[in-house]
A and B are shown apart, each in its own frame.
Chain A
Amino acid sequence: MEEKFEPKIAAFVCNWCTYTGADLAGTSRLKQEANARLIRVPCTGRIDPVFIIKAFENGADGVLISGCHPGDCHYNAGNFHARRRWILFKNLLDFIGIDSSRLYFSWVSASEGKKWVDIVDGVIDAVRAKGPFKQYKKMNKEIEIPVAAEEGVSVK
């Protein structure tokens, strides 16, 4: 029997709001699914859209990006610049064929532990329903270098 598909979610979160909100979810012992891996950046302004591409290249089935609510940015305007970039990038990916069922955005403040759990679980469920990102995995496969067959050769 085929193993049940478990999506891999890469989440880029800002240090001050969402990461802290996720901390709060932990402190409050709010249970959530274990498919997401968080990568902490100082601010959503730091998130280059290429990070999203890189995440897909490394096997992510979905990407979630989250930061401070507009007006709450620890760095005043990082999230405003980020939001503008996202609008452009999201439209571009959409036109290329990576639609919003793979890419998610949210604002989660340091006090919104519950919201964070709902967002994460929601994204995991949605991507699980969508299935693995086959097209990208196919592209990834193409470049895999066959590992040397001989024993004792370590590829470090």
Chain B
Amino acid sequence: MNELKQICKDALSEKKARFIIGYKEDKNKRIKPFIAKTPEDAEQLTFNHHAVNNLAVYLPRFKNNVEGKIGIVVKSCDLKAVTALIQENQIKRDDLFIIGVNCSGVVLDIAKEFNKDNTQIKCKYCQAKTPPYYDALADESKDFEMPDDDQAELMAKIDKMTSDERLEFWNAEFEKCIKCYACRQVCPMCYCEKCIVEKSEPQWIDTSSTARGNFSWNIIRAFHMAGRCIGCHECERACPMGIPLTLLTRKMGMVASSEFGYRHGMSLTEPTLIGTYSTSDKEDFIK
């Protein structure tokens, strides 16, 4: 803990960053995002199993930054979002002071203690406890045995269904959608100034919360994340209706990996999946 605080304090006093986006504990012992502007502020910065938020969501607003570096505390999953945002011109690497933290998992329900039954899905299959790159690294990891990846089991189950059963499954899920767009707001990759769902001339998606509109919205959202989703699972966490949104985004990530050997947000130099092509991309489905 002291290590993170010390790194941030030093960064602010040495002007390596003009402020640091991190986490603090509030009066109710809840962890929430916090911006430390002075070395004194840095005293309040903290990190633990309850630091679920992906802070990269704040970065696009600094894309025309001219003043000085922005410090940000990131888990390895969050760093993928930072990478993707750099690749998509939403922030410059030179404008960032990245403080990586070694993470050993975060909670699913922030009101409860971290334990085997209260672990984010993404942590169950996380392969990089340490961010792949950073400007400073704080070690906050603790030994913890990860529970089984039950989402993968569910995905395998869906894969085995007939297409009509799958359609039924998803219709039942999408029926819950109230079109609040929390999934979009919380997503670090959803930085568009005007979302496609807000386009009215022409209207792309029925905005009313009907089966058809919900269906289109969720498909299009998932497609817009294909090859771009970095798997932070914030959408599902934010969804008030409990729709298993990450089933879709994770599926698209798996397709990207199996069809193209691609994993988004892992490297700053690897070209993006969308926007590039290979002449040998699979086409066995094209007659």
Contacts and interface: CB of A to CB of B under 8 A. Distances in A.
Q: Are chains A and B touching in the complex at the 8 Å CB cutoff? A: yes
Interface of A: 49-50, 53-54, 57, 70-71, 77, 80-81, 83-101, 104-107, 119, 122, 135-136, 138-140, 142-143
A53 B219 CA distance: 9
B285 A84 contact: no
Interface centre among B165, B196, B277, B279 (most CB of A within 10 A): B277
Nearest to B159: A95
B166 interface: yes
A105 B226 contact: no
A99 B273 CA distance: 23
Nearest to B276: A84
Interface string B162-206: 011111111100000000000000000000000010000000111
A139 B215 contact: yes
B274 interface: yes
A54 B203 CA distance: 10
A154 B161 CA distance: 46
A139 B218 CA distance: 14
A106 B287 contact: yes
Which of A53, A77, A99 counts the most B-chain CB atoms under 10 A from its CB? Answer: A53
A89 B223 CA distance: 7
Given A49-B220, A70-B279, A84-B274, 20 more contacts: A50-B205, A53-B216, A71-B279, A81-B275, A86-B285, A87-B285, A91-B252, A91-B255, A92-B219, A92-B251, A93-B219, A95-B158, A96-B248, A97-B167, A101-B163, A105-B287, A122-B287, A135-B164, A139-B212, A143-B206
B223 A87 contact: no
Classify the interface of chain A: helix, strand, loop or mixed: helix
Contact-size category for B: 35 or more
Contact of A92 (B163, B169, B210, B226): B226
13 contacts: A49-B223, A50-B204, A70-B279, A83-B286, A88-B226, A92-B219, A95-B159, A95-B251, A96-B166, A97-B163, A100-B285, A106-B287, A119-B287
Interface in B214-257: 215-216, 219-220, 222-223, 226-227, 248, 251-252, 255-256
B255 A87 contact: yes
A80 B278 CA distance: 7
Contacts of A98: 163, 167
B285 A97 contact: no
B67 interface: no
Interface in B39-69: none
A44 B166 CA distance: 28
B211 interface: yes
B143 interface: no
Contact of A70 (B168, B170, B216, B283): B283
Contact of B170 (A54, A83, A84, A96): A96
A92 B223 CA distance: 7
Nearest to A102: B163
A139 B226 contact: no
A140 B255 CA distance: 29
A97 B226 contact: no
Contacts of B212: 57, 136, 139-140, 142-143
B112 interface: no
Contacts of B208: 143
